[in-house]
Amino acid sequence: MTQSKALITGIKGFTGRYVAAELQAHGWEVWGLGTQPDMAEPRYRCVDLLDASALRIVVQEVQPDVVVHLAAIAFVGHGDVDAFYRVNLLGARNLLSALADVQRKPQCVLLASSANVYGNNSAEGVLTEAAPLNPANDYAVSKLAMEFMARLWMDQLPIVIARPFNYTGVGQSEDFLLPKMAAHFRRRADTIQLGNLDVWRDFSDVRAVAQAYRRLLQVCPAGTTVNVCSGRTHSLREVLHMMERISSHRLDVKVNPAFVRGNEVRSLRGCADKLLDLIGDWDVPQLEDTLRWMLEAE
């Protein structure tokens, strides 16, 4: 019996490595796209999503059964604003166009958007997928633009849009706050410079997110937008205290005004009811367990 083929864009990124491992562990033949050359991996293709013709050639070659589109500029503080739109919007459009033109259409295409599309939201309590959309930065606007663009292809492709809330784990870049904090604790630094500690986030574990993506591919609720979140929030101040308990080390925190963004989203907490209705029970580790994994990593 032939293995089902999965194509992951951004496979060498933080999330891509975990999604690849999750799919391989469940019997998928995993192919990947990225911008870093790798001659040693026969199922990896180095291609820029903005190179539409090269992308079409690769899609025709692989003819994937499912696609997970992760390739994106994901760091909100990224200096090149135009890159958000080139990669996150036009790159996704080129991918969908290539997939729509292949003779054997994929059975599911999962697009990773972001809970940042909700922004500073006036909705009471947790954010469902029906909450008002109020993106507060170029990253969030580019992701929302991708969602709207994807609607143009939904009559041709079985598209699922995932809106992951914050997630973390071993291997995430120190450009992101929790890995930066964990690195300071691991090397037992004396001080750390941070921004606003009183922002609240819904944190998940990257391994749980990879599992959710795999299960969404299997059920493929085409045309659906779904939150991927734990439904629990913690402030960055709480995260700091958790790391202190786990490591038995204290840091002197200095607030750097340069790290306090004027367009900071104060609180993001998601409702996972729709996700659980689609995939069933889903085990998201407690944040303290994820932090312990990060702090104890070599």
Q: Is there a contact between 50 and 91 (Cβ–Cβ < 8 Å)?
A: yes
Residue environment code for 33-45, b if the CB has 16+ CB neighbours within 10 A, otherwise e: bbeeeeeeeeebb
pLDDT band at 79 (very low <50, low <70, confident <90, very high): low
| 56-75 per-position pLDDT tens digit | 999 999 999 999 999 988 66
User: What tokens appear for 237 in the block?
Assistant: 């101040």
- Per-residue pLDDT, averaged over 156-176, amounts to 96
How much of the chain, in percent, has pLDDT values that exceed 70? 94
Separation CA 36–CA 136 (nearest Å): 31
Residue 1 pLDDT > 90: no
Gyration radius of the chain over CA positions:
19
How far is CA 83 from each of CA 75, 162, 173, rounded to the nearest angstrom? 11, 21, 18
Residue 81 pLDDT > 90: no
Encode 104-155 in three state secondary structure: CCCCEEEEECCHHHHCCCCCCCCECCCCCCCCCCHHHHHHHHHHHHHHHHCC
Separation CA 259–CA 262 (nearest Å): 10
Residue 148 pLDDT > 80: yes
What is the pLDDT at residue 49?
96
| 200-227 per-position pLDDT tens digit | 899 999 999 999 999 999 999 999 999 9
What is the pLDDT at residue 240?
96
Query: Across the chain, where does the E strand assignment appear?
Result: 5-9, 29-34, 44-46, 66-69, 108-112, 159-164, 167-168, 191-194, 200-202, 204-205, 225-228, 233-235, 252-255, 267-268
Separation CA 59–CA 7 (nearest Å): 9
Separation CA 121–CA 286 (nearest Å): 25
Closest listed residue to residue 208, CA positions, set 117, 281, 294: 281
User: What percent of the residues of the chain are helix, what percent strand, and what percent coil, each to the nearest 5?
Assistant: 40, 20, 40
Q: How many residues does the chain have?
A: 298
What is the pLDDT at residue 250?
96
Domains and CATH numbers, the chain: 5-168+204-229+265-284 (3.40.50.720)
pLDDT band at 295 (very low <50, low <70, confident <90, very high): very high
What is the pLDDT at residue 262?
64
| 84-105 per-position pLDDT tens digit | 999 999 999 999 999 999 999 9
Lowest-confidence range among 17-21, 136-140, 234-238?
136-140
Residue 265 pLDDT > 80: no
Closest listed residue to residue 138, CA positions, set 65, 94, 217, 79: 79
